[in-house]
Amino acid sequence: MPELPEVETVRTYLDGHLRGRRIENVAVGLPRLVKNRTPEDFAASLSGCAFTSVSRRGKYLILHLDAPWDLLVHLRMTGSLLYGEKKDEYGERFVHLVFTLDKGYLFYRDIRTF
């Protein structure tokens, strides 16, 4: 599990890359990662939203949106949130969520989730 300094490093990295970026589409490759909604509802509710900032509460990352809700993420044991310019930048084998942004992509990748 990432320790607190690593989570803070991820927060800083994401805040610099995501601030002001708008979500155009969300592809859910592993439905059980989405809690309290269906994957279709999750994707529909995030489409069109823009990131305003990224904060942290303990080991949880809070991706603030210009919407009435925010996106709460826990990296679990080996998960990572990565920003990339190309859709296949990190491969597809362990990428379970892909957020298509107005410029670039946000990937949730976890090598221990099958």
> 56 is written with which tokens?
């942290």
Q: Which of 3, 5, 68, 85 is catalytic?
A: 3
* Whole-Å CA distances, 89 to 70, 106, 112: 26, 11, 19
32: left (phi over 0), alpha (psi -120 to 50) or beta: alpha
Q: Which of 2, 8, 24, 39 is catalytic?
A: 2
6 catalytic residue (yes or no): no
2 catalytic residue (yes or no): yes
Q: Which residues are catalytic?
A: 2-3
